[in-house]
Amino acid sequence: MDTGLADDGALLGACPSQSPVDGRLLDQLSSGDIARMDAQSRVTVLLALERERSRIDALRQEVLSAIAVNDLSAQQWCREEIGAALRLSPVTAHARLKDAEQLVTRLPEVHQALRDGRICELQARAITEASYRLPEEAYPALQERALRRADEQSLQQTRQVLRRAVISLDPHGTQRRHLNAVADRRVRISDAEDGMAWLSVLLPALHALACYNRLDQQARAERTGEDGSGDDGMACDRRTLDQLRADHSSLRCSAKRQQLPTREPAARTSASSYRQPPCSARTTNRAGWTATVRSPPIPRGQWRTTPPGRGAG
């Protein structure tokens, strides 16, 4: 395999399958040799670098754990020190110190797997977070289940294993946590940029699925004309199912129906708005705003502008 590297050995020789990355490899990588590698060589080097990053992450967790364990102050000033050093808020610094102490002192097998490069830092963090839901005597069983095939799994697959393990290892605790979570149901709103916002509802899973299924049924019925919106059974709505579900949820919470465009028009001017004629079930999609049940598209050239501050009417 020709990688275009020095005669004293290919770069791959510096990073065999289970060895750490040495300084010579890093020097060669920083000297522009990556561009001269073939595809297989790049993948091999990438895997070696991932293992090295896992080893460094494990060492970082050890350092954070030592800082947390040796901080005997009642105010836990280590949070402020680590926050200032790493440019983190005290809350984030506290979470990192807590997770590191949990990983190193109570989950040694997971920490060793991270140090060996068999799992990544995100997998180790997921296992650490899952351990908080279990009593300490269940930690060995959790580690055994989580690490059984973790080196072959993605992060999402590892989380699925952890969810099943937590339920199996502590069924009574799972039921208790569910009741506490039901009591914490709520509605939140958060910014989504570009004049949009997320409206999130935390509900029991069965209730949330029932709400989604209801919105989905209404969206599909309106899109196919089953709600009577089309005079000949033909669909006259060009909104996507996601848009229809969102519009139906908004309609149920607001006092009036609002007409929203399905996409940005090909051309528009600032401080302009649009007017649309009454609905025609046979209107087809054309340039401009796409059709909705009560708002068919306006052909290009027929858009009208209104002065700023006045509604579209």
Q: Is residue 119 situated within a structural domain?
A: yes
The predicted model gives 165-193 an average pLDDT of 95
Q: Is residue 260 situated within a structural domain?
A: no
Supply 69's token pair: 């364990």
**pLDDT at 273 (0 to 100):** 45
Q: Is residue 155 situated within a structural domain?
A: yes
Q: Is residue 50 situated within a structural domain?
A: yes
Q: How far is Cα 58 from Cα 69, in angstroms, rounded to an integer?
A: 16
97 in the same domain as 15: yes
- pLDDT tier at 236 (50, 70, 90 boundaries)? low
Residue 297: CA atoms inside 13 Å, Cβ hemisphere, count? 21
Q: Is the pLDDT of residue 3 over 60?
A: no
208 in the same domain as 71: no
Overall domain count for the chain: 2
Q: How far is Cα 217 from Cα 80, in angstroms, rounded to an integer?
A: 52
SS3 190: strand
166 in the same domain as 110: yes
- 97 CB-contact burial (10 Å; exposed 0-12 / middle 13-18 / buried 19+): buried
Q: How far is Cα 130 from Cα 99, in angstroms, rounded to an integer?
A: 11
What letter represents residue 49's amino acid? L
Q: Is the pLDDT of residue 150 over 70?
A: yes
235 in the same domain as 100: no
What string of DSSP letters covers 120-149?
Answer: -HHHHHHHHHHHTTS-GGGHHHHHHHHHSS
Residue written as token pair 């506490």 = 180
Range of the domain at 243: 203-253
Q: Is residue 94 situated within a structural domain?
A: yes
- The last residue of one of the domains, among 123, 152, 183, is 183
The predicted model gives 289-294 an average pLDDT of 44
Helices (H), the chain: 23-29, 39-69, 78-86, 90-106, 108-116, 121-131, 139-147, 155-169, 171-183, 205-224, 241-253
- pLDDT tier at 154 (50, 70, 90 boundaries)? very high
212 in the same domain as 75: no
92 in the same domain as 220: no
207 in the same domain as 85: no
The mean pLDDT value of the chain amounts to: 79
Greater model confidence, 273 or 240: 240
The predicted model gives 264-279 an average pLDDT of 46
Q: Is residue 282 situated within a structural domain?
A: no
216 in the same domain as 154: no
Q: How far is Cα 97 from Cα 61, in angstroms, rounded to an integer?
A: 8
Q: What is the pLDDT of residues 24-81, one digit of tens each?
A: 666 666 656 777 888 888 888 889 899 999 999 999 999 999 999 999 888 889 999 9
127 in the same domain as 85: yes
**pLDDT at 253 (0 to 100):** 85
Residue 104: CA atoms inside 13 Å, Cβ hemisphere, count? 19
Residue 71: CA atoms inside 13 Å, Cβ hemisphere, count? 19
Q: Is residue 293 situated within a structural domain?
A: no
113 in the same domain as 59: yes
Name every residue whose Cβ is closer than 8 Å to that of residue 71 and which is 6 or more positions away in sequence.
Answer: 77, 78
27 in the same domain as 153: yes
Q: Which residues pair with 187 in a beta bridge?
A: 201
149 in the same domain as 32: yes
